[in-house]
Amino acid sequence: MCLKKFSKSLFRALKGLRQVWHDENNFRIEIVIAIMVIVLMFYWQLPILEKISLISMIALVLSLEVLNTAIERIMDILKPKIHDYVGTIKDMVAAAVLIASLAALIIGLIIFYPYLF
């Protein structure tokens, strides 16, 4: 019974990922960047803590992008019928993705700098 419930949850999560992949250009760009970072991470045989840092930042950015998409869709349903703050809420969630992306970029530059120059 527990395995059936888990497989159903996993299927729904993968369905959600497929939908975000299909609908969101930013998510596809972030996936491509993540793949490039992972390839470089193993090519240069980075220390384990640096690998953990990079993978954590990748997971954070991608997770926030999925949440951003979900919240934007909820807000699109509610639109101005409910409140004028709908646009502001969407901007705030996008800002969360931006903050995480900038942090990921800075961490990536710090880690990869010695290998690039």
For tokens 């699109």, name the residue.
76
Q: Choose the catalytic residue: 58, 65, 66, 69.
A: 65
Whole-angstrom Cα distance, residue 43 to residue 111? Answer: 13
First to last CA, the chain: 54
Q: Is 45 annotated as a binding residue?
A: no
Q: Is 65 annotated as a binding residue?
A: yes
CB-side neighbour CA atoms (13 Å) of 113: 6
For helices 86-116 and 25-43, angle between their N-to-C axes, nearest 10 degrees: 20
Q: Is 24 annotated as a binding residue?
A: yes
Active site residue 30: no
Q: Is 50 annotated as a binding residue?
A: no
CB-side neighbour CA atoms (13 Å) of 37: 25
Q: Is 19 annotated as a binding residue?
A: yes
From the annotation, which residues make up the binding site for a divalent metal cation?
A: 24, 72
From the annotation, which residues make up the binding site for ATP?
A: 24, 72, 90-91
From the annotation, which residues make up the binding site?
A: 18-21, 24, 65, 72, 90-91
Annotated active-site positions, please? Answer: 65
